Amino acid sequence: MFPRRPGHRLATAAVALGLLCSLNTSAWAGARDLAHGHARITRVPSTAGSQTPLSGYAIRSTADVSDSASAVSSPGYPAKGWYPAGARSTVLAALLADGAYPDPFVSTNLQKIPKSPFQVPWWYRSDFTVTDTSQRTYLDFSGVISAADVYVNGRQVATTTDVTGAYTHHELDVTSLVGSGTNTVAFRIQPNDPDKNLTMGWIDWLQPPPDQNMGIVRDVLVRRGGPVALRDAHVVTRLAVPSLATADLTVRAQARNDSDTPVTAEVSGTVAGVAVTRSVALAAHQTKTVTFTPADVPGLHLTSPKVWWPAGMGGQPLYDLDLTASVVGTASDTAHQSFGIRDVQAPLNSDGARQYSINGRRLLIKGGGWSPDEFLRWDRTYAEDRLKYALDLGLNAIRLEGHIEPDEFFDIADRYGILTLPGWECCDKWEGQVNGDGERGEKWTAADYPVAQASMTAEAARLRDHPSVVSFLIGSDFAPDAKIEKTYLDALKAADWATPVVSAASDNSTPQLGSSGMKMTGPYDWIPPNYWYAKREGGATGFNSETSAGPDIPTLDTLRRMMTPAELDTLWKNPDLKQYHRSPSPVFGTLKIYDEALTGRYGAPKSLTDYVRKAQLAQYENVRAQYEAYGRNQTDSSKPSTGVVYWMFNSGWTSLHWQLMDRYLDQGGAYFGAKKANEALHIQYSYDDRSVAVVNNRHTSASRLTARATLFNPDGTQKYDQSVTDVSVKGDGAHTTALTLPTSVSGLSSTYLARLVLTDATGKEVSRNVYWLSTKPDTLDWAGTDWYHTPTTSYAELKGLTSMAQVPVTATASTTAADGMATTTVTVRNTGTDKTPSLLTDVHLVDANGRPVLPVRWSDNEVSLWPGESATLTATYRIADLHGSQPRVRVSGWNAVERTVPAGLPAPSAQLSSR
């Protein structure tokens, strides 16, 4: 089976894929213009220093192209019947955009796509025009998966030996081949095998794409300039800590004479508003490093610098570097770079754990593991939406294990103050030399070392000026050996890398860097909430680089989008059945461990709806406990917690595990459990010692607080109530124990509810947290711990929740709109006449057809309300995401009577004027 050729309307494909593929606007525009092989021609200006990305490609399997490489890469070649591809596109991404296959995120459609079309090379060709051939022309690119022969106007300019590896950077001087008018560049892309190539693979995250992401996934730039090129411009900052009173800036750039005659270049510009200039004499084809330091430019010693901080700790100011190289008064090339001023340290503490500090202030890394789109389609809006979710969850970091995103990702992280921890991935060629038994990934050959070094050099140069990038992890599950470590470290040093380098994400070490200071002890599958409080294995001590309780079942809305009715039926009825949307790993193929715990704790599901509501309850309590345990222990004097990365933050496809939000950005128990746990000022229950703690993640201390704990039976009967006044807690992650719940309470049922409320000096509620607990705790078999979980030998008795009566919850909602954004304000109230609370009341913003409006950011959600209590919540979202509909609000929950109420915009004109 081979995908059908184009010739149908691309609009049909767009409708079929809908929001599922989430392709960016420029990719769609490129696809439209490339239809039927009529490529959009990229117009390249003559401006010195211009960098113009190719706008897209026509692609075709070499199995279907009998013409010579010279012919294919020549202007005017009739690429009839070729597929359109965007500027950054894998082969399969292009075919999906063209509608060649059904939506791969639904059911087992991905499994049905054959692999054979992607086991031969594919051609990528694109045309560009220039008018001024007196300027020099370069092709500048990375992101080729896995390797490519490169041709320009019928001539080969690079081979697969030269262009190999997803991260290696290439600059090809094609001046002599480029003529006035139309020019053609063609790439013959080789198939990818992440076990054999230093590229990208998917390990056990999701079902891998049949093309293994072969293609070009970053921009190919056409650069123009005069005889002298400016390259590698960057700024090394040194901030005075702890005073933050001064900062020294050192500017470096490479001035390269690409002409056959000697020249003198004038390199001038500004850095942080400070003027710099220097004359550089260059022999023919000579390169010199141009350096500006505070010693020769006193203005580069800044006083009262604007310091960059992570979100929640301060602002995110950025500075600019702008340089121009001129020859005889004419601009030859330019360079621009944004940068931030901040200091990052990450020493090992007395327990051997890595402890990060930013600008002299220690912080707990609270992060999630990032996944790109499965087909590596870049969509800036979609990426930004997910990073906004990270801020909404109170996270401060994202870990990228391989799949290191394009520049725009780090630009967004810089602007939002989200720390990033990029590094190489495990379990394939990257760790083939050091992998353990049973791991994939071939041993390295002599040819792999220069590719690895070039990859490290390129990524270091690309990432070093981003203040959001606070480390590079040169190993993941395994640390590199001495030779590979030296390869990486030499490249990092040459690139002026200034932030900490970590030997591995696991508890491993290398000869030069020493211990990683991190642990990778799991879990990756279900464990109970009390697991996180034990200072062992994956519990809240040290820096856990990837960990979670495994499955994260999406909302019912999402499940119905991604699975067939028959598949949904087996989801809740057959725990032993392999679930295609979980993982290709035999370890994580089923939901058996998770489902047994769900049944053991909450009772056997009675329907799909019952299964999903129990899943949301379980995921809320578990994710909350994970972040709360690490949050509480961060300032402990013994074995403190220093970092935790939820595995994973998101998924690259429609998944049943490892995600705080789903592929469509819908939010359920896992999301709101994390949001609750990471409140800036937070009251929480401790599963290990029954203490009620107040954790303060603000910088300033808090005082004159009142903490109240009340225990209820599931029917709402109150059995215990205690308040403690004048509670104080220091800042920067400190906690204080306000009170401890008694081990025995008269009349308390085996399943009970704990309501914790924190109020300030004025009586205003600043934190509320509701737990469902049991007098019979979950029991762990620590001796049976393996790499992915610790078995549970007996479960907490939470089946009493099923006895909770259904309660009426009313809702009123209204919406305002401005500047393309809408805010819906919802007031929900438990109007029940008895004592029963409404547990985990969920409010979903939906359109007129009942479909979730996404993405959306709620002020709070999944709230628990006692009779007479109300909560006012706000939802913020783009008006365009209503798709012309009026907003509505759907209220549901563990025991709330479901209802949907209107939340319309003030007038139809408000929608239209703001779109």
Q: Which residues contact 670 (CB under 8 A, 6 or more apart)?
A: 552, 619, 620, 622, 623, 659, 660, 661
The pair of structure tokens assigned to 624 is: 């909350």
**CA-wise closest residue to 665 among 815, 845, 836, 911:** 845
**CA-wise closest residue to 448 among 438, 434, 469, 463:** 434
In whole angstroms, how large is the CA radius of gyration of the chain?
Answer: 29
What is the SS3 assignment for 701-729? CEEEEEEEEEEECCCCCEEEEEEEEEEEE
Burial of 649 per CB tally in 10 Å (0-12, 13-18, 19+) = buried
What is the SS3 assignment for 783-815? HHCCCCCCCEEECCCCHHHHHCCCECEEEEEEE
The pLDDT score that the predictor gives to residue 436 is 76
The pLDDT score that the predictor gives to residue 40 is 78
The pLDDT score that the predictor gives to residue 28 is 34
Q: Which residues contact 68 (CB under 8 A, 6 or more apart)?
A: none
Coil, strand or helix: which one is 43? Answer: strand
Q: Where are the alpha helices (DSSP H) in 468-537?
A: 482-494
The pLDDT score that the predictor gives to residue 39 is 56
Q: Which of 149, 219, 392, 546 is catalytic?
A: 546
The pair of structure tokens assigned to 189 is: 């892309």
- What pairing do the DSSP bridges indicate for beta strands 870-878 and 821-830? antiparallel
Examine the residue annotation and report whether 546 is marked as an active-site residue of this protein.
yes
pLDDT tens-digit readout, 459-472: 999 999 999 999 99
Q: Which of 477, 485, 628, 778 is catalytic?
A: 477
- In degrees and rounded to multiples of 5, residue 234 shows phi and psi of -160, 170
**CA-wise closest residue to 527 among 535, 543, 538, 536:** 538
Q: Which residues contact 18 (CB under 8 A, 6 or more apart)?
A: none
Low-confidence ranges of the chain (pLDDT < 50): 1-37, 909-915
pTM (two decimals): 0.93
- What pairing do the DSSP bridges indicate for beta strands 51-53 and 857-858? unpaired
Report the C-alpha gap between 81 and 602 in whole angstroms.
57
Question: SS3 breakdown of the chain: % helix, strand, coil, rounded to 5?
Answer: 20, 35, 45
Q: Determine the residue type at 860.
A: D
The pLDDT score that the predictor gives to residue 702 is 97
Examine the residue annotation and report whether 596 is marked as an active-site residue of this protein.
no
CA 480, distance to chain mean position in Å, is 25
